[in-house]
Copies of this chain bind each other. A is one copy, B any other.
Amino acid sequence: MRTIRYHQIAEELRARLDSGEYAAGRLLPSESELSVEFSASRVTIRKALEMLRDEGLVDARQGFGWFVAGETVRQPLARLATIEEQMRASGVRPERRILEFAFEKAPRDVARAFGNPHALRVKRLNLADGEPFAIVTVWCAGDLAQHLSRADVERSPFYELLDIPLSGATQTIGADAADSAEAALLAVPVGSPVLRCTRTTTDTSGRVVLVSHHVFPAHRTKFVVDLPFADQSIAPSGLRLVE
């Protein structure tokens, strides 16, 4: 059975991309190098690469080279380490388990922040090395979340899924006792202390686009804040009295 050369080559390259062989380096070997490696002409290599481009796996820039398509998106975002990157860097294996995914009417306070009650609510459990370390509930403004699927949310963090520039956030940190549902999910006794955080994230126009709620078991997590200047008080900065 006769197979077409550049289909074979495309298949081989696809396998390498999946295996992550080229993912790290970000840049694929040049067409010339590949043509030597596969004993094929540059034109044939190009045809194979163009197939992969049509599939969205790779992309090319003239004078630069072929690169894995996904990476370029992540590049500008990589500047600040996320908690999951930190975990990965320190050898801990992060995991996300989606518990609930629903478009629904947001609670009053969230709806007021969005200016619209229609929202996507995602509840998930984050694990570190298989052990639960956070329950996260995210509300996302409905119009921005319309194209998101459960698989999207399971695969990528929200900031990658929203293709609008985010600008800032306000975050509240408090302590509380775990209720029975939380205790079950986090595998801690009912009533044991947890850190409870609420965060509202806005885009560059100042519109609130995300409201999220986080519950961390106290024995596994702490916040570390560096204050470059003394803020004139022994009391930790940012502390507010509630009611």
A interface with B by C-beta (< 8 Å): 1-4, 24-30, 54-57, 65, 70-71, 74-80, 82-84, 86-87, 90, 92, 126, 128, 133-134, 136, 138, 157-159, 165-177, 191-195, 197, 199, 201, 210, 212, 214, 216, 218-243
Return chain B residues, CB-CB under 8 Å to A128.
Answer: 241
Copies in the complex: 2
**Contacting residues, chain B, for A240 (C-beta < 8 A):** 83, 86, 221-224
Chain B residues closer than 8 Å to A216, beta-carbon distance: 175, 239
Minimum CB–CB distance from A193 to chain B (whole Å) comes to 4
Q: Could you list some 15 contacts between A and B, CB below 8 A?
A: A1-B24, A2-B27, A2-B28, A80-B232, A86-B241, A136-B235, A157-B233, A168-B228, A170-B227, A199-B234, A201-B230, A201-B234, A220-B243, A224-B240, A225-B238
Q: Within the assembled complex, what's the spacing in Å between the Cα atoms of A88 and B220?
A: 36
